[in-house]
Amino acid sequence: MPEVTIKIGERPFKVACPDGEESQLEAARAILNAEAQVLVAHAGRMPEAQMLLMSGLMLADRAIALEEKVKAVEAEIELMRQILKDTPPEIKTLTKEVKVAVIPAELLESLAELSARAESAADNLEEKAAQPVA
């Protein structure tokens, strides 16, 4: 396993990195370094151990907030699944029973509006799930 030198808070650290995982190490280094840079900018030079500890704690706090968001989104998905499951069978099969030679314009407009609302709701859910924690 080769040793790689990475910089966090402008300080070099030698770490072992399995072959092929260099890009993942670089991504992790960049995230930790961003937190360290915030600390260095606000507090100035500090001991390495304290800088790494505080950076790690800040990242852990962010991870906890993201986990809470994920749980909330999972709960919302489960609620939607339950609503879908509880939908009466006659509503689920209604579209299979309707035969219309000509689709009225009002129906097409209603369907387009429902489609747009569903897409907007899905976009909002994706945005909420992807938002970084402040």
Phi, psi of 53 (to 5 degrees): -60, -50
CA dihedral (48, 49, 52, 53) in degrees, to 10, reads -150
**In the chain, what are the domain boundaries?**
3-130
Report pLDDT for 65. 94
Cα–Cα–Cα angle for 118, 98, 79, rounded to 5 degrees:
35
Report pLDDT for 27. 92
**Bigger pLDDT: 132 or 114?**
114
Report pLDDT for 100. 65
Q: Of all residues in the chain, what percent carry a pLDDT higher than 70?
A: 91
Q: Would the pTM of this model clear 0.95, i.e. be above it? A: no
Cβ atoms of 19 and 1 closer than 8 Å: yes
Task: Please state, rounded to an integer, the average pLDDT across all residues of the chain.
Answer: 86
For 62-120, the pLDDT digits (tens) are 999 999 999 999 999 999 999 888 887 776 665 556 566 787 889 889 999 999 999 98
Is the pLDDT at 41 greater than 70, yes or no?
A: yes
Alpha-carbon distance of 46 to 42, in angstroms, equals 11
